[in-house]
Structure 1
Amino acid sequence: MTTLAEQIIVAGAENRPPMLEKSMYDSWASRIRLFIKGKKHVRMMLDSIDNGSLVYPTVEEDGQTRPKKYPELTKAQQLQDDCDVQATNIILHGLPPDVYALVNHQEAAKDIWDKVKLLMKGTELSYQERECRLYNLFDKFASQVQVNTKFLNALPPEWSKFVTDVKLAKSLYTTNYDQLYTHLSQHERHAQEVRIMRERYPDPLALVANSQTLYNPS
């Protein structure tokens, strides 16, 4: 059997609006609406969020026009005004302190609701932008590696030794095509010597025996 204190705690938890998590705005917005649907005069409170608060009717007094005061409203208007206030409080109680500080100067539930949505959708967009940048950066690296690899693999056989040295000395992720070309062009003369030796001595044993003059990069 639960104690009175436990019943009060449970009741307080049930009456507490769901708290906004910045990365889950859509979920919070749905849960706030479900929370309101459990209250009395749900239609009026949701109308306050979607369409705005009651606009006080005006009255002529001493030749001037002024908004009516609360006691001067009809019963239906007073009820709508009460629902506007209740909807505002529900939304504000579901906001973390930093978001609350940005919107608490607003009085109308719709204004607060729209402002929170704008703030949170902007936050979600920034997450998406950062994610897109990461994907674009990865695609850029992957594309650069493919270009560099194709370039190196397309070189004639006499370049194979120098290609291996480049792969060991350079990062294909951070080195662009022009840098690879510049680095390899330093060994062009030696690559040509290898080609000439291969043509002169097609027999591998003869090539090895006469390859003392070949360039051997450190």
Structure 2
Amino acid sequence: MTTSAEFMIVAGAENFDKAMYNSWESHMLLYIKGKKNGRIMLESIENEPVVYPTVKVDNIIRKKKYTELIEQEQLQDDCDVQATNIVLQGLPPDVYALVNYCQSAKDIWERVKLLMKGTELSYQERECKLYNEFDKFTSVKGETLHEYYLRFAQLINDMHTTGMIMQQVPVNTKFLNTLITEWSKFVTDVKLAKNMYTTNYDQLYAYLSQHEGHANEV
């Protein structure tokens, strides 16, 4: 039976945006960590799979069979296999087809990172694009405060998942200053009422939403 978390991973893979590698990585690591023996599976992603030790039998050196491994080695081998399967199942079909030949979770993870995240240059281009979107972000005529807030929240979330660090004050200032002119009086009020260093834009939205009726009248 597929759990809701597993369904979300598969569903997310079908609509995967390669530019959103960081978000995918974060969700996958959190999902694996929550599984039984999840922390051991995370080691499978960071390190090479367990190497079967050798044994000498009748003067012949061979690798041990699974049943001959000690309990800890068997557990690590099981986690290696499970981690590999989870990562493969969480991939979109086009990426899966390029990595399904890999035998270990570590190899798959590194290959996927290269395919989805791209080179350091493309990653920098992604950052530049988001900074540009932030600079040019503004309100759209006719949209509600809630719609404005959702667009802004999506942009900030994309910047965070890419690893970009945004200071609180510039984010809050951007959120307030790009509202349509009908909000100017209430923007002035909220700047006087709220500390821009300790308040986030979610709290600013909650405060402003209480006055949306008055802003609409204006």
User: What TM-score, normalized to structure 2?
Assistant: 0.51
Q: How many residues align?
A: 123
Q: Which has the higher contact order (CA 8 A, sep 6+)?
A: 2
When residues 40 and 99 of structure 1 are mapped into structure 2, their CA distance, relative to the original with a 3 A threshold, is same
Q: Say whether residues 1:96 and 2:92 are aligned partners.
A: yes
Q: What is the rounded CA distance, in whole Å, between the counterparts of 1:111 and 1:131 in structure 2?
A: 26
1:67 matched residue in structure 2? 63
Partner of 1:36: 32
Answer yes or no: is 1:13 the counterpart of 2:4.
Answer: yes
Classify 1:125/1:99 alpha carbon distance in 2 versus 1 (closer, same or farther; 3 Å). farther
Asked if the contact 2:117–2:123 (Cα under 8 Å) also holds between the matched residues in 1, the reply is no
Identity value in percent: 63
**TM-score, normalization: structure 1?**
0.51
Which residue in 1 is equivalent to 2:114?
A: 118
State how 1:122-201 maps to structure 2 within 5 Å: 122=118, 125-126=121-122
Given that residues 55 and 63 in structure 2 are in contact (C-alpha distance below 8 angstroms), is that contact kept between their aligned partners in structure 1? yes
- In structure 1, runs of 5+ residues without a counterpart are 1-7, 133-218
Tell me the residue number matched to 2:77: 81
Q: 2:48 corresponds to which letter in structure 1?
A: G
Per the alignment, do residues 111 and 80 of structure 1 end up closer, same or farther by CA in structure 2, a change over 3 Å counting? Answer: same
Q: Deviations over 1:90-146 (max 9, x none)?
A: 1000111111011101111000001111112227844866998xxxxxxxxxxxxxx
State the SS of the aligned residue for 2:55. Answer: strand
Distance 1:129-1:30 versus aligned 2 partners, 3 A rule: closer
Q: Give the aligned partner of residue 138 of structure 1.
A: none
Q: Does structure 1 conserve the Cα–Cα contact (< 8 Å) formed by 2:53 and 2:64?
A: yes
| Aligned match of 1:54 | 50
Q: What is the identity, as a one-letter code, of the residue corresponding to 2:97?
A: A
Aligned to 1:180: none
Partner Cα separation in structure 2 for residue 87 and residue 120 of structure 1: 19
Check the 8 A contact 1:21/1:28 in 2, yes or no.
Answer: no
Q: CA RMSD of the aligned region, Å?
A: 2.4
Structure 2: gaps spanning 5 or more residues: 129-218
Amino acid at match of 2:114: L
User: CA contact under 8 A between 1:58 and 1:65: conserved in structure 2?
Assistant: yes
